[in-house]
């Protein structure tokens, strides 16, 4: 079953900001980050239950090439992306986005 993917506004902004930052570091790196994020999003849409719960119903998928994680939850048959965060940033930053 393929689920619908939605982003909290803050998560969409985080994704764009991180991609922009990587592009400033080296031309093309932002696109590579975007491709890795797309790969992770595609995987979590197909099998969201496969990923570790990190706080109540919130789950996480880590990106392979970049030190970022995507936090999400299942809500009424859709996958809701709550945050895109660097490393092990404190969860209070995104927990209120449920």
**pLDDT tens sequence across 65-76:** 999 999 999 998
Largest CA-CA distance found in the chain, in angstroms, rounded: 40
Answer yes or no: is pLDDT of 16 > 70: yes
Assign domain 4-95 to its CATH superfamily.
RelE-like (3.30.2310.20)
User: What are 9's two structure tokens?
Assistant: 């506004």
In the predicted model, what is the mean pLDDT of residues 3-28?
95
Q: How far is CA 85 from CA 2, 76, 97, in A?
A: 25, 24, 13
The predicted model scores a pTM of 0.86
Answer yes or no: is pLDDT of 55 > 90: no
Cα 2 to Cα 12: distance, rounded to the nearest angstrom: 21
What are the residue ranges spanned by the domains of the chain? 4-95
């Amino acid at each position: 079953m393929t689920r619908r993917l939605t982003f909290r506004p803050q998560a969409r902004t985080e994704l764009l900001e991180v991609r922009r930052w990587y592009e400033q570091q080296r031309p093309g790196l932002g696109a590579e980050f975007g491709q890795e994020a797309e790969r992770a999003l595609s995987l979590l849409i197909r099998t969201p239950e496969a990923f570790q719960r990190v706080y109540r119903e919130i789950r996480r998928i880590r990106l392979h090439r970049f030190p970022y994680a995507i936090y999400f939850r299942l809500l009424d048959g859709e996958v809701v992306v709550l945050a895109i965060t660097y490393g092990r940033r404190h969860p209070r930053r995104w927990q209120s986005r449920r």
